[in-house]
Amino acid sequence: MICRCEEVTYKELIETASEYGCSARELKLRTRAGMGYCGGRTCRALVDKVTRDLEKDNRSQITLKYQPPIRPISFGNLGGESNE
């Protein structure tokens, strides 16, 4: 299991990358690896590695970025008071 949040296996990544010749971004979009609750913090490096290992023309690819699962909230919401 590579991506625990989206339950994507190593086998799925390899098969998808081999079939479509995916970049890391395309592999992420096709398999949802890195799109779960953690935002790719646990699997991003492995998804990048799979695409680098299977890369046929040795071009440099843009690696995936990750975004922490954070949303801005107001201090009122944080304290439990409504702004109405």
Q: Is the pTM of this model over 0.75?
A: no
Q: What is the pLDDT of residue 74?
A: 75
Q: What is the pLDDT of residue 39?
A: 82
Q: What is the pLDDT of residue 50?
A: 85
Over residues 51-72, the pLDDT tens digits come to 888 876 545 556 666 566 566 6
In sign, the C-alpha dihedral spanning 41, 29, 18, 60 is: negative
pLDDT less than 70: residues of the chain: 56-72, 81-84
Alpha-carbon span 30 to 59, nearest angstrom: 21
Where do the structural domains in the chain lie, given as residue ranges?
A: 10-78
Q: What is the pLDDT of residue 51?
A: 83
Residue the block writes with tokens 């299991």: 1
